[in-house]
């Protein structure tokens, strides 16, 4: 066996009956790269991706035969798909196995959400009437999370930037909480060989302690009989099965089992103390990277707060200001965030008031645009929204023009010769990319400079 993998990790894994050390070492020595994407069902498009077989535990997920330069694909920037590691898409299967995809008005929390893979997945799989709170404690990563959820285009999402302890202010509020916990990262050794040098038993211990703190601080926000989906990209029992034992013993959770297909290659495992069930993904057995997931249900009684004490905020959005911009505006509650008009589904008005009273919000719903006092200046978020009025003026462009637009470069005015002056959507293969303003002698490119393509 090659000596590039940490000996301490291999020795510990060898004690497991479900582990083949020779096959594990061989797959890492080969260094095969597996690329996979998950399609956005709300934005079907003709893609130039080399899709091969479907990922068996996620019907929206596909393996690619070749890895393209995603930066050069306008449809990637438009949110028609998300580049996500295949093993982590197992969350999709879990949500469906629990029946949460058909349940209305689910309140879901993705506690450690950046960069947004599991949040966009939840946002697709859960019912449209469900509310998703996506949280990230690190400010810079929270901005990336906002960008990815804006691309996904749904208004039933709130992005927060809070320490996990802040969610104890929402006791018994959530039906499901996903915690993809910060970990020592051994499951990423094949994908990122640099992670091998950073791995140590001391870091495993540090991560295990951090995982317990995160879970202990946040678990009160999960309602009685609510589900906790806990995952890591680590192989270490201290971060996986031992955490499951601790949750059962200390916080009154019970382990939940779901049926899986033997052909998938996923290894079912049980914790040493309480026999809690988990699912291990080894790269020599599945077409994906290392991953662990366990499903638990909260059995302790959790008091919740009185909703009667929550006062709804009166909307100060000018009447009719979004009517020409949003499809079916009567379905949405409108509110101001600074100078910008935002929308969320009308049935989530009370939830928004609750969340705003206890958490720090980075983004809520869809930003429709800035109100100038007389008219709306449309936001980039609106251009990517799945609820934009598709009757708005738009111009289809070719690949070169689309990439120029995404670089925030000057756009050829001749492309817009049949377009009225004013705000206009730029489309590529029928999918909105963003806004330009058509003037008599030039085209002003309004693609946000902070997300423009820097190099081609």
Tell me which H or E stretch contains 133. strand 131-135
Q: What is the pTM of this model?
A: 0.96
C-alpha span between 329 and 312 (Å, rounded): 19
pLDDT tens by residue, 403-423: 999 999 989 999 999 999 999
- Choosing among 3.40.50.620, 3.40.50.150, 3.30.30.10, 3.20.20.210, the CATH entry for 88-298 is 3.40.50.150
- The pLDDT of residue 454 is 87
Report yes or no: 378 and 368 within 8 Å, Cβ to Cβ. Answer: yes
Task: List, for residues 165-185, the tens digit of each pLDDT value.
Answer: 999 999 999 999 999 999 999
- 115 annotated as belonging to a binding site for a ligand: yes
pLDDT of 438 strictly over 80: yes
Q: Where are the domains of the chain?
A: 88-298, 311-390, 393-456
Q: Is 221 a catalytic residue?
A: no
Q: What is the pLDDT of residues 197-211, one digit of tens each?
A: 999 999 999 999 999
pLDDT-derived band at 309, boundaries 50, 70, 90: low
| Alpha-carbon distances of 254 from 93, 250, 299, 395, rounded to whole Å | 20, 11, 7, 54
Residue 19 in this model has a pLDDT that exceeds 70 = yes
User: 161 near 362, Cβ under 8 Å?
Assistant: yes
pLDDT tens digit sequence for 221-250: 999 999 999 999 999 999 999 999 999 999
CA distance readout (Å), 39 to 58, 91, 124, 155, 184: 10, 15, 9, 18, 29
As a whole number, mean pLDDT of residues 375-390 equals 96
Q: Which CATH class is domain 393-456?
A: alpha beta
What is the mean predicted confidence (pLDDT) over 76-90? 98
Q: Is the pLDDT confidence value at 1 over 50?
A: no
Q: Which tokens in the block code for residue 445?
A: 């490119």
pLDDT of residue 4: 81
Whether residue 29 is annotated as binding a ligand: the answer is: no
CA 293 to chain centre: 16
The reply, when asked if residue 197 is annotated as ligand binding, is no
Asked whether residue 106 carries a pLDDT value surpassing 90, the answer given is: yes
Catalytic residue among 58, 207, 233, 424: 233
Q: What is the helix, strand, coil percentage profile of the chain, to 5?
A: 35, 25, 40
Query: Is 163 assigned a ligand-binding role in the annotation?
Result: yes
66 marked ligand binding residue: no
Please, what is the average pLDDT of the chain?
95
In angstroms, how far is the first alpha carbon of the chain from the final one? 41
């Amino acid at each position: 066996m090659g000596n590039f993998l940490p000996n301490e990790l291999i020795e510990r894994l060898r004690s497991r009956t479900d582990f083949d050390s020779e096959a594990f070492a061989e797959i890492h020595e080969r260094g095969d790269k597996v690329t996979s994407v998950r399609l956005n069902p709300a934005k079907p498009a003709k893609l130039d991706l080399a899709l091969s077989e479907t990922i068996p535990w996620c019907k929206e997920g596909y393996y690619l035969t070749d890895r393209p330069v995603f930066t050069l694909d306008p449809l990637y920037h438009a949110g028609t798909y998300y580049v996500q590691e295949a093993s982590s898409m197992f969350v999709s299967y879990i949500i469906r196995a629990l029946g949460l995809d058909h349940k209305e008005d689910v309140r879901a929390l993705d506690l450690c959400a950046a960069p947004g893979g599991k949040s966009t997945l939840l946002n697709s799989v859960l019912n449209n009437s469900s509310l998703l709170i996506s949280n990230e404690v690190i400010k810079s990563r929270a901005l990336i999370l906002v960008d990815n959820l804006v691309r996904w285009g749904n208004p039933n999402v709130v992005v927060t930037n809070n320490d996990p302890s802040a969610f104890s202010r929402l006791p018994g509020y959530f039906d499901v909480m996903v915690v993809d916990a910060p970990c020592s990262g051994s499951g990423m050794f094949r994908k990122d060989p640099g992670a091998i040098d950073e791995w140590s038993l001391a870091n495993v211990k540090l991560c295990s302690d951090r995982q317990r703190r995160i879970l202990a601080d946040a678990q009160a926000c999960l309602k009685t009989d609510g589900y906790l989906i806990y995952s890591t990209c680590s192989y270490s029992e201290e971060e996986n099965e031992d955490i499951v034992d601790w949750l059962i013993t200390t916080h009154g959770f019970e382990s939940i089992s779901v049926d899986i297909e033997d052909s998938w290659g996923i290894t079912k495992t049980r914790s040493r103390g309480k026999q809690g069930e988990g699912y291990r993904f080894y790269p020599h057995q599945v077409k994906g990277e290392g991953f662990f997931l366990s499903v638990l249900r909260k059995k302790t009684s959790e008091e919740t707060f009185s909703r009667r004490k929550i006062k709804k905020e009166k909307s100060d959005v000018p009447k009719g200001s979004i009517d020409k911009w949003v499809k079916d505006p009567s379905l949405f509650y409108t509110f101001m965030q600074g100078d910008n008009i935002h929308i969320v589904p009308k049935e989530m008005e009370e939830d928004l008031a609750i969340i705003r009273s206890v958490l720090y919000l980075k983004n809520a719903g869809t930003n429709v645009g800035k109100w100038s006092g007389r008219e709306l200046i449309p936001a980039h978020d609106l251009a990517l929204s799945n609820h934009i009025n598709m009757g708005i003026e738009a111009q289809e462009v070719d690949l070169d023009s689309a990439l120029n637009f995404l670089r925030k470069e000057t756009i050829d005015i001749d492309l817009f010769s049949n377009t009225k002056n004013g705000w206009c959507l730029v489309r590529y293969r029928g999918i909105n990319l963003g806004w330009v303003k058509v003037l008599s002698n030039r085209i002003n490119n309004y693609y946000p400079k902070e997300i423009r393509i820097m190099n081609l």
